[in-house]
Structure 1
Amino acid sequence: MTRKNTQSRPAYLQAYEVIRDRILNGEIPGGTKIVEEKLATELGFSRTPIRDSLRQLAHEGLIVNKKVVQPSEKDLIDLFEVRSLLEGASAKSAATYLAEEDLQSLSECIRMGKEGSFEEIMEANERFHEIIVQASGNALMIDTIDRMKSIIYLFRKTVVLNKRPRLIDEHEEIYEAIKARDTERAQQLMEAHLQADLDFCLRILRSSSQR
């Protein structure tokens, strides 16, 4: 997730971004107990912005019961079930309503996914899905996915780092279906794409738990 210039930003947003990025980058591992006083001292913030940032991170699911989340298999399956429902419907809408300039942006995301650095691929992957979700025009669906964004990032990182087969090929197939205005195929391909992500992440999770 792209860091923003923190100058003139409220202290709680600055604290939120620092803590979020440390969690997402693995500097604060899953299962770590979060202590307000310790974070305030380490990061140089007062406890109020730290408390507010932790509240936001809990809202996004990165902190559960004052510990950094360690998603279980059920958490993973539940997350992808929601994503499949929402993003599948969004892909169907995109095949009907997506503007030409957004189609060009999807194409650029695919190009970057094939040629970019790790960070560029991560950003292109996030942007690809974001454009399609926005096409739904449904504020509640968009907000639901937005609140899941940090958790989604963790699993996106898993599929990119571990080079899931056909990841970008599937993006290209979804793009072609949207471009062709084939609503049913766009929805089916998005659902199949997310199912492949889920299956891959579950294999990684199960492999890690057996070590």
Structure 2
Amino acid sequence: MPEPQTTKLAAAEQAYRSIRADIISGALAEGERLTEERLSQDLGVSRTPVRDAIRRLTHEGFIVRQSGYTTRVARFPEDEMTQVFDIRQLLEGYASERAAKMASAEDIAELKRLSDVIWSHTPPTTPEDFTRISEANEAFHRRIVEAARSPRLTALMSMAFDVGMVVRTYRRYSTRELERSAGHHREIAEAIAARSPDWAGAAMRTHIRAAQSAAGKSDAAAKP
């Protein structure tokens, strides 16, 4: 029999992935109220792993806590989204410049591998494809910040990089936008491998501006 702690961790991971997937897909809509009781019934697990999953998703920006014990799927006001993308351009552009100077051979190999994963699953034709792209995208951006070798920058990015916002806007891309994004990842990895800070920074800023444009168009189309 599995150890109780192992079972608990497995259930929490299952709950986390299921709730996260429902938020990304829109099955759980922005602003929708979430309760531990309902989620535990839907997922067939106890409330403890659901509570752990909610805590993790709150930290990542997918869920917000309101007064009392109320939790809801996060909303992204237009101004907040603009601020996040503007801040990411500044911080990740700088991170890419530093990574071009500081990245190890292992960092470069991993960035190339992740960009290849994104490329090979683009455009996504199955939910699994999209999951692979989303996970590789998150890992790619985090690896660049790690490769910059700056604890101060890492601390700033931990506050600015809203995983929930990035993943959920990424889900709205058109096929053309996904293909363009995959090409950007490859170019950024190539620029860092070439030890070219100017190229790497410019490629990252272009990538984030394109993402901001795609997210903005999606939001505009969704408005009545």
* TM-score (normalizing by structure 1): 0.80
- Establish whether residue 110 from structure 1 lines up as the match of residue 128 from structure 2: no
- Establish whether residue 67 from structure 1 lines up as the match of residue 72 from structure 2: yes
1:98 counterpart residue number: 103
- Establish whether residue 163 from structure 1 lines up as the match of residue 168 from structure 2: no
CA RMSD of aligned residues (A): 2.7
Is the 8 Å Cα contact of residues 170 and 193 (structure 1) preserved in structure 2? yes
1:136-172 Cα deviation digits (max 9, x unpaired): 223454460696223321122223x543162222223
Percent of residue pairs bearing the same amino acid type: 31
For 1:56 and 1:176, how far apart are their aligned partners in 2?
Answer: 33
Aligned AA for 2:197?
Answer: T
For 2:87 and 2:18, how far apart are their aligned partners in 1?
Answer: 28
Is the partner of 2:165 in helix, strand or coil?
helix
- Measured after TM superposition, the shift of residue 68 of structure 1 is 0.8
Q: How does 1:57-206 map to 2 (within 5 A)?
A: 57-64=57-64, 65=66, 66-116=71-121, 118=124, 119=129, 120-139=132-151, 141-142=153-154, 144=158, 148-159=162-173, 162-164=175-177, 166-206=180-220
Q: How does 1:34-45 map to 2 (within 5 A)?
A: 34-45=34-45
Is the 8 Å Cα contact of residues 59 and 147 (structure 1) preserved in structure 2? no
Q: 1:124 to 1:55 in 2, by over 3 A?
A: closer
Is the 8 Å Cα contact of residues 83 and 145 (structure 1) preserved in structure 2? no
* TM-score (normalizing by structure 2): 0.76
Aligned with residue 221 of structure 2, among 191, 204, 207: 207
Structure 1 runs of 4+ off > 6 angstroms?
none
Is the 8 Å Cα contact of residues 16 and 57 (structure 2) preserved in structure 1? yes
Equivalent pairs counted in the alignment come to 204
Q: 1:38 to 1:172 in 2, by over 3 A?
A: closer
Aligned AA for 1:151?
Answer: M
- Measured after TM superposition, the shift of residue 38 of structure 1 is 1.6
Gaps of 5+ in 2: 1-5
Is the 8 Å Cα contact of residues 133 and 142 (structure 1) preserved in structure 2? yes
Q: 1:10 to 1:167 in 2, by over 3 A?
A: closer
Is the partner of 1:163 in helix, strand or coil?
helix
Q: 1:167 to 1:48 in 2, by over 3 A?
A: closer
- Measured after TM superposition, the shift of residue 32 of structure 1 is 1.4
